[in-house]
Structure 1
Amino acid sequence: MNPVGATPCELCAGDGGALVWRNAELRVIQAAEPEFPAFYRVVWNAHVAEMSDLDPGQQARLMAAVLAVEQVLREALAPTKINLASLGNMVPHLHWHVIARDRADSRWPAPVWASAERPVEPALAAVWAVRQPELARRIRERLDP
């Protein structure tokens, strides 16, 4: 949990998105990003800010979950690229962004946080959005074999 007197942490207060999978150490959520329906986060449950706050075994388990989400997105969607990021500038609670990208998305080739280069391609977002239940199932299967 956050230190006493600190600004409340949104990732301590709630899941941070649509919960896909959770264990005692971490969780996978689908972010509420309508333009990017294949935008996931792997969140460490305890309030720590950096990867080096974890011991080597915890680091390995966290990265295994990040890679599992990446593999599911690659296999299911065949995106142009997967973006991985662990920033924590806005929310200093350890989490990794795993984002399937396509050349047709509104911000390609810039990061998803950049200004849009063109209008959203509704067909791409719709096709990926309709696959969310399947993606969630495949992520759970990958993390709980």
Structure 2
Amino acid sequence: MSILSILMKSDKDEPSSAPRSDCGLCMPEKETVIWRGAFWRLIDVGEAAAPGALRLIVNRHVTELSWLAKPEREQLFDLLQVIDESMRQELKPTKINIASLGNQVPHMHWHIIPRWHDDPYFPQSIWSAAQRDTVSPQLDARHQAAQKLFAKLPKVCAKAVY
């Protein structure tokens, strides 16, 4: 049983959660951290065509949802909810996509992506081929709203988990 399992009162024998030198999320070269808590950190993805796109990343190396300890799972869903609510309030998107894939980067993380009916990829995923161009004034306004969201999120996230 791992030390983390004992400390978090988990009876699971999770695989090692030590940072891995070959993991881009354990050892990021560069990331814009919006908020960091004990278990999770929230970063700005910096996707020009998807202003406000975020990534919620577990701090220790975990690859599967079922390997999260109970406090990590509880915080995950509390954080997803308050981020979703804040994003709706500030950005007023048509839809918010929340996804955890992990095929290319096997480290638990969640994509939180605001979507608009006129964004370049809608209704497909943002990893698809662009369907259209987004008009610059709309995109500029969304980038400004995203900056307001990013300024608000540290307090919102901290309040949700502490």
For normalisation by structure 1, the TM-score amounts to 0.90
2:124 corresponds to 1:110: yes
2:107 corresponds to 1:93: yes
For normalisation by structure 2, the TM-score amounts to 0.81
Q: Aligned to 1:99, what secondary structure does the other structure show?
A: strand
Equivalent residue for 1:77?
A: 91
Equivalent residue for 2:32?
A: 18
Larger Rg: 2
Runs of 4+ displaced beyond 6 Å: none
Q: Which runs of 5+ in 1 are unaligned?
A: none
| Two-structure CA RMSD over aligned residues (Å) | 1.6
Q: Aligned to 2:25, what secondary structure does the other structure show?
A: helix
Q: Distance in 1 between matches of 2:69 and 2:104?
A: 24
User: Is the alpha carbon distance of 1:137 and 1:125 closer, same or farther for their aligned partners in structure 2, counting shifts above 3 Å?
Assistant: same
- Count of aligned pairs between the two proteins: 141
Deviation at 1:51, TM superposition (A): 0.9
State whether residues 37 and 158 of structure 2, in contact with CA within 8 Å, keep that contact through their aligned partners in structure 1. no
Q: Aligned to 1:144, what secondary structure does the other structure show?
A: helix
Pairs within 5 Å for 1:1-145: 1-2=19-20, 8-14=22-28, 17-145=31-159
* Fraction of identical pairs, as percent: 31
State whether residues 27 and 42 of structure 1, in contact with CA within 8 Å, keep that contact through their aligned partners in structure 2. yes
